[in-house]
Structure 1
Amino acid sequence: MTQESDEVDRIVRAWTGQRPDLDFSPLEVLSRVGRLARHLDRARREAFRRSDLEPWEWDVLSALRRAGEPYQLSPKQLLQQTLVSSGTMTNRIDRLVGRRLVRREDDPADRRSILVTLTDDGRIRVDAAITRLVDAEAHLLARLSRSDRDRLAGLLRKLSMGFDA
């Protein structure tokens, strides 16, 4: 049984011919990861576009949606989940309030603080986007069996643990 060949195989064969002294196995893995990341980025942007959301809006709205009812978080909690600066988060919240996708509310536990709450329209958009995103990502992985997906997820988790620490 012959294994299928892809563009990365062609590139690695060419490099191996030119530089047989180097081990190109990292290129075989990470070049494919990079190519897949570009396909994933396009699929995500399309899913968000179809839900009339920008990727940064998705980041904030999905954090609120994942929080569960009443779909609210403090700006500090949003900062921790989206990894942006305080000024950037304030700007993002302002813009989302302007689009009526979130609203600011006084924090009943601390009158000096606010909570950011997902509106009904924000929830509808983020739910539509996650449905489209999951469908698009399933399509990208369609050539893999469930056990292959599980094995790949485990290997990628193992690899990423060293970077996330």
Structure 2
Amino acid sequence: MLAFLATLEPERDASAKAIAWRLRRAARKLDTEVRRRLAPLGMELWELEILSGLRRAGGTLTVGELLDVAQLTSGAITNRVGRLERNGYVRRDVDPDDRRQVLVTLTASGLERQLQAVEANDVAEREVFAAIDPALQQQLAGDLRELLLAIEGPDPTAEAHGSVGA
């Protein structure tokens, strides 16, 4: 594709297009492999994201905070939290300090499920990147961190955890 574009407009700098196109291809490959590894567990990627978000937060988040973690609409998060609750992976409670808020808490069963999903995710990542030299993996990780810092800025929540983010 990039070679074709170069023949159409040889004077055009296609650097941004090359980066974007290659990042999308790599992300699609990784996403496909993670989904393939989660499928035998009867799990979808959104479930891993929500359960992992709860675990990172210490086990409990408000529904609003989960919206940010999962980057979903309020209707979608309500449906997904409902599915997780029916399966026993989370519990919903009214916040005793603010009765307008609903707290979503990871259960012991949810933590076990999250650990299974993380292992499947890790296997998929190792498979995708197995052919890449470890030194190149380190370089790519650093370069992508710099890219994310440049386009997103530092993660404001990372400072609380002692890192710069990205």
What's the TM-score, normalizing by structure 1? 0.77
Q: 1:143 aligns with which of 105, 112, 131?
A: 131
Q: 2:81 aligns with which of 84, 93, 99?
A: 93
Deviation per CA, 1:98-126: give whole Å up to 9, x if none: 22221112434344533211122222221
- Tell whether 2:59 aligns with 1:57: no
Give the structure 2 partner of residue 4 of structure 1: none
Distance 1:43 1:36 in 2: 11
Deviation per CA, 1:69-94: give whole Å up to 9, x if none: xx121112212212223333222222
Give the structure 2 partner of residue 5 of structure 1: none
| Higher Rg | 1
Q: 2:37 aligns with which of 44, 47, 51?
A: 47
Distance 2:72 2:22 in 1: 28
Distance 1:15 1:112 in 2: 54
Whichever residue aligns with residue 130 of structure 1, its letter is: V
Aligned residues: 153
- Superposed CA RMSD: 2.3
Whichever residue aligns with residue 22 of structure 2, its letter is: R
Change (3 A) 1:16 1:126: same
Q: 1:129 aligns with which of 117, 120, 128?
A: 117
- Tell whether 2:120 aligns with 1:120: no
- Give me the identity figure in percent: 36
Change (3 A) 1:85 1:26: closer
Distance 1:12 1:110 in 2: 54
| Residue 14 (structure 1) shift | 4.4
Kindly indicate whether the alpha-carbon contact (under 8 Å) linking 1:52 and 1:125 is maintained by their aligned counterparts in 2.
no
Give the structure 1 partner of residue 71 of structure 2: 83
Q: SS at the partner of 2:101? A: strand
